[in-house]
Amino acid sequence: MKLIMIPAIALTLFSAVFANQRTASEQPVHTGNGFAVLELFTSEGCSSCPPADALLARIQQEAGNKPIYILAYHVDYWNRLGWKDIFSDPRYSKRQYQYSQQLNSQVYTPQLVINGTSSCVGSDEAAVTNAMANALASPAEETLNIKAQLQSGKAALTYNVTGDAGNSRLLVAVVQKHAVSKVTRGENEGRMLSHVQIVRDLRTFDPGAGSAQISLPGDFNTQEWELIGMIQDSGTGVIKAATRVPL
């Protein structure tokens, strides 16, 4: 685990080794109408992050039709330490710092935030599995439905929200399902890293508007990319609903 103490001027890093006893195949059975949004804050410059990436890749592979939504945010504060992560974005570091205030947690990689309500070390398989079980067993506060039509480099969205969407916002993540990078410097020097569910863009909309438009990367296609929508409380950070966007 790599720990960043606030304020960011003093950057203190701690390393730890986590032994995981459970396998990703021991995923909880989905019996309710809950969902699990797993937001991983990671970096190619962090030697503790590849095990978390691998764990989420297994969860993604074995999730099947369960409402499990994985989002990997590559933060940028590791870039100053020898390797610039091409997937990093300062907006994702800002999102992690917002969570640190809302959850009263520290800032570190790999950190996993579950439904905006709790967090754990992203490579701690037992903690991740238990958090998913709790999330799937908790009823969703709202329902989100989104449809999209592709229109020459853009997606035209239509959506509706049922439930109390007051003080909430609609977030739509543009997600690259898989990528591989060869790291030539930093803590992972010489390693070939595999990533899943990489957030390449994150847009915010008014949930009451009913329609919106979002720009897509030039290489976007429906086999290698997807859109994931979320309703999130602006004050608490709690995610009240989530869904994949059919294209």
> What pLDDT shows up at residue 212?
95
175 closest CA partner among 77, 75, 95, 245: 245
Give which of 114, 230, 211 is closest to 170, Cα–Cα: 230
CA distance 189 to 136: 38
Name residues of the chain where pLDDT drops below 70. Answer: 2-32
Please report the domains of the chain, with CATH numbers, ordered by start residue. 2-15+28-244 (3.40.30.10)
Q: Is 129 helix (H, G, I), strand (E, B) or coil?
A: helix
Rounded Cα–Cα distance for residues 230 and 164 (Å): 14
How many angstroms separate the Cα of 146 from the Cα of each of 65, 127, 160, 187? 17, 31, 7, 40
Alpha-carbon distance 118 to 105, whole Å?
9
Q: How many CA atoms lie within 13 A of 209 on its CB side?
A: 12
pLDDT computed for residue 20 by the predictor: 39
What would the two tokens of residue 211 be? 């329609």
Amino acid at 22: R
Cross-sheet strand order for the sheet of 143-150 = 143-150, 154-162, 211-215
Please give the pLDDT value at position 6. Answer: 39
Q: What angle do CA 230, 225, 86 make, to 5 degrees?
A: 95
pLDDT at 4: 52
Q: What is the pLDDT of residues 147-187, one digit of tens each?
A: 999 998 999 999 999 988 789 999 999 999 999 999 999 99
Nearest to 246 by CA among 172, 159, 174, 146: 146
Given this model, what pLDDT does residue 230 score?
97
| Distance, CA of 167 to CA of 205 (rounded, Å) | 12
DSSP-assigned letter for residue 224? T
